[in-house]
Structure 1
Amino acid sequence: MISFSSFKTLVFATGLTSLSFVAHGQQSSTPEADSFGQCIERLQQEARDAGVSERTTVDILGQVKPLERILSYDRNQPEFVQTFTGYFSKRVTDWRINKGREKLQEHKEFLAELTKQYGVPAQYLIAFWGLETNFGSYKGKTPIIPALTTLACDQRRSVYFSGELVQALLLLEREELDHKQMVGSWAGAMGHTQFMPTAYMKYAKDGDGDGKIDLWNNELDALASAAHFLQNLGWKTGYRWGREVIIPEGFDYQLAGKSQPQPLSFWSQQNVTQVGGKPLGESDLKSALLVPAGHTGSAFMVYPNFDVILRWNNSEYYGIAVGHLADRINGKGTLSKPLPELPNYTLVEMQQFQEKLNQLGYDVGEADGILGPATRKGVRAFQVTVGLIADGYPSKETVEAVKNAPVEIDDAKNS
């Protein structure tokens, strides 16, 4: 819902970042002068209706010029599909762990107050901050008002970005900001925690009590805002995000997937254990098993707070990275298994793989190159039929087997 930090990379997860905008077919160009001018007039009226002052509506919004590069970012698709290994190794780094521990100590007392007030443990706030902007070292340099205006005048996501633009203008007035200093991501995310304008208006908090909310320059405001946001997303106090687990030999991997939660006691009955061999327990807490790198990589048991993380950024890779980074910042150890070397597929290769699965009768939905729940389910079903470990991961062996599998011809259709 907030982050655009990982937009340019398609991941093997349940989806892209929750506000990702990969175009499929519709490739509108930057609006020409006349149509852009008409769009500005429309946006000015929407701003007035929402209570934005005439001065801001005319002197700021009325002077905006389109940013051509924004739409090229919006349409960008990567050549390769990134693996869990590639994603995780670039985000859970020694630098982020060490810097996170420094920040945890630096703001120790303030973070303790936030945990008491909002119920979110400090290490998670630090982990989100680290993944979003490297603890504020890179918050983006794109001017927010022109970027949002450009996207609002593009038909593909006009309604959404028009709303965000109006909220950005209201924010500018509420916090008495200089619009030239309102910079962030190309899609409008701002500050240490990369809040979109709507989230900034609704959830941002004055952490240091100075009467202003400055997510660009004030770390305490940013941390308090993150805590408040996570609380409102439904964070369950006293529960962790999940944990790495050990899966026994002969395990039925068709049970895996976030869409198939079970009570924790169920997984204990399947002999899934904590990394050290301790049982998971007999709780009725709903939990799901994820195997993002296939059976050769680490497995993770995720709990309801993992879903809260996904409401911040709807990518399972992101959720696992946040959770594990938080654990590491809090003193926990590394993963029990080294990150496996995984195939480096192009987007086209993955689309062809999905198309062939559909032809074979394994419905994986649109061949979009994204390894979402439907594709994983189809892959598992195929792997069962050919005697492969049904972990839902497109290993080289699985892809080759799909490629070589004959497509049955329906005689009835050809008679």
Structure 2
Amino acid sequence: MLTRRLLLASAGPALAGCASSTPAAPVTVAAPLAPAPAPSSATAVTASPEQVVADAAGFDTFLTGLRADARRAGVSPATVQRALSGIRPLARVLELDRKQPEGVLSWESYRDRIVSPARIENGRRAYAENRALLEGMQSRYGVSPRVVVAIWGMETNYGANTGGFNVIEALATLAWEGRRASFFKGELIAALRIIDAGHVTPEGMRGSWAGAMGHPQFMPTSFERLAVDFDGDGRKDIWGSRADALGSIGNYLARSGWQADKGWALEARPPAGFDIERVDTETRRPIAEWARLGWRRADGSPLPASDTQASLAVPTRSAGQVFLGLPNLRVIRRYNSPMNYGLAVGLLADRVA
């Protein structure tokens, strides 16, 4: 890791530290960051997000190599010059990258915070306002519109909080800082290719401190694989086009194996003797077999006589709520892997509908 002086220079007002509106991990489709060591007194920062780390020589050396790597990756010299001109490492990004979580919510607290009356009501409004678009997305990809809306609500509060960081500057900070530098450098090169392709300007490429972008919070490499030009204007604009943003979420789920009409989960009541601390979440059985083993719906009614495969889905830090996870729960968790995230998306989707 480079040695640097952390001299802070104010460059603007404070911004939200993370694009995600949920207490879950902020990055939608990037691997979670490894725990970081606590910052030393030489590196501790309390700056606003727009404050920068002043180590001009070290960062400029990094940028020189980055420009060469970007050109080798096929990015035009004009885009390299425009996107990297004048950028500085952001102290707030480093602070957030090192920040340790202060605690983990119970499932019930997380569920009630996420699947709140306000989020449900806003989701119903968003669904109604975009009904024609969502029906078109469903027709093309076969994905449930209410699940797409729920993910949109989880990630950015239906587009209200897509992140205030310049993605190029944030990713350059993380690629230079040293911890997971290789990962973030790959994302940075991908972000430059996206700009070079004309999908967004450097100024318009805004997102979270970790580089998750736009309404769906795609990382740049996921954008390259999965973003779509749903409105047909020649650009994949997940920042300004709801059609492209929601269509891209639908495409992501479809490409991850979404099965129409297969559902996401059933809240279930276990048989006597069930130990939530020793649960097997890997074994899949037809729902009818779970019924023969004594499982019932949460309200005590029988499970459906179905051959759909299901596995136990137990929320993290649950006080007892248990689900039978259906095929599409696994698909939702490919978008963002924590079990509580996947279950909250499903519950929100049901209430939005």
TM-score category, normalised to shorter length: 0.7 to 0.9
1:359-385 deviation per Cα after TM superposition (whole angstroms, max 9, x unaligned):
xxxxxxxxxxxxxxxxxxxxxxxxxxx
Q: Distance in 2 between matches of 1:307 and 1:137?
A: 27
Q: Deviations over 1:301-336 (max 9, x none)?
A: 112211111111111110010011011111xxxxxx
**2:231 maps to what in 1?**
208
The residue number in structure 2 matching 1:21 is 33
- In structure 1, give the amino acid aligned to 2:32: S
For residue 102 of structure 2, the aligned residue among 79, 92, 110 is 79
Report the secondary structure of 1:132's partner residue: helix
For residue 89 of structure 1, what is the amino acid of its counterpart? D
**1:131 aligned onto 2:146:** no
Change over 3 Å in CA distance of 1:286–1:235 after alignment to 2: same
Q: 1:31 to 1:199 in 2, by over 3 A?
A: farther
Q: Which amino acid aligns with 1:279?
A: L
Q: C-alpha displacement at 1:178, in angstroms? A: 2.6
| Pair 282,203 (structure 1): closer, same or farther in 2 beyond 3 Å | closer
Q: Match of 1:389?
A: none
RMSD of aligned alpha carbons: 2.5
Conserved? CA contact 1:8–1:76, under 8 Å: no
1:8-33, Cα deviation, whole Å (9 max, x unpaired): 668xxxxx985332434485956943
Conserved? CA contact 2:295–2:303, under 8 Å = yes
Distance of 2:139 and 2:261 partners within structure 1: 11
State how far apart, in whole Å, the 2-side matches of 1:126 and 1:9 are.
17
Secondary structure of the corresponding residue to residue 213 of structure 1: coil
Q: What residue in structure 2 maps to residue 365 of structure 1?
A: none
Give TM-score scaled by structure 2 length: 0.83
Deviation at residue 261 of structure 1 after TM alignment: 3.7
- Equivalent in the alignment of 2:192: 169
Q: 1:240 Cα shift?
A: 0.9
Residues 255 and 301 (structure 1), Cα distance of their counterparts in 2 relative to 1, 3 Å cut: farther
Is 2:305 the counterpart of 1:290? no
Per the TM alignment, residue 115 of structure 1 is displaced from its structure 2 partner at its CA by: 1.3
What does residue 112 of structure 2 align with?
89
Which runs of 5 or more structure 1 residues have no equivalent in the other structure? 11-15, 331-415
Judge conservation of contact 1:267–1:280 (CA < 8 Å) in 2.
no
Q: Which residue of 2 aligns with 1:281?
A: 305
2:258 to 222, 228, 235: 235
How does the TM-score come out when normalised to structure 1? 0.71
Aligned partner (choices 53, 71, 75) of residue 76 of structure 2: 53
Q: Deviations over 1:229-269 (max 9, x none)?
A: 11111212221111211223332446624334444344212
Task: Give the counterpart letter for 1:147 in structure 2.
Answer: A
**One-letter amino acid of the counterpart of residue 281, structure 2:** K
Q: What is the CA–CA distance in structure 1 between the aligned matches of 2:335 and 2:285, rounded to whole Å? A: 23
CA contact (8 A) 1:22 1:74 kept: no
Give the aligned partner of residue 7 of structure 2. none
Q: Which among 325, 345, 360 is matched to residue 348 of structure 2? A: 325
Shift of 1:89: 1.4
Counterpart for residue 293 of structure 2: 270
Q: Which runs of 4 or more aligned residues in structure 1 lie more than 4 Å from their structure 2 counterparts after TM superposition?
A: 6-10, 26-31
Please give the residue correspondences for 1:121-200 in structure 2 after superposition, counting only pairs within 5 Å: 121-175=144-198, 177-200=200-223
Q: Distance in 2 between matches of 1:57 and 1:249?
A: 64
Contact 2:231 2:244 in 1 (8 A): yes
Aligned equivalent of 1:5: 20
How many equivalent pairs are there? 322
Structure 2: gaps spanning 5 or more residues: 1-17, 44-52
2:20 counterpart letter in structure 1: S
Distance 1:31 1:56 in 2: 25
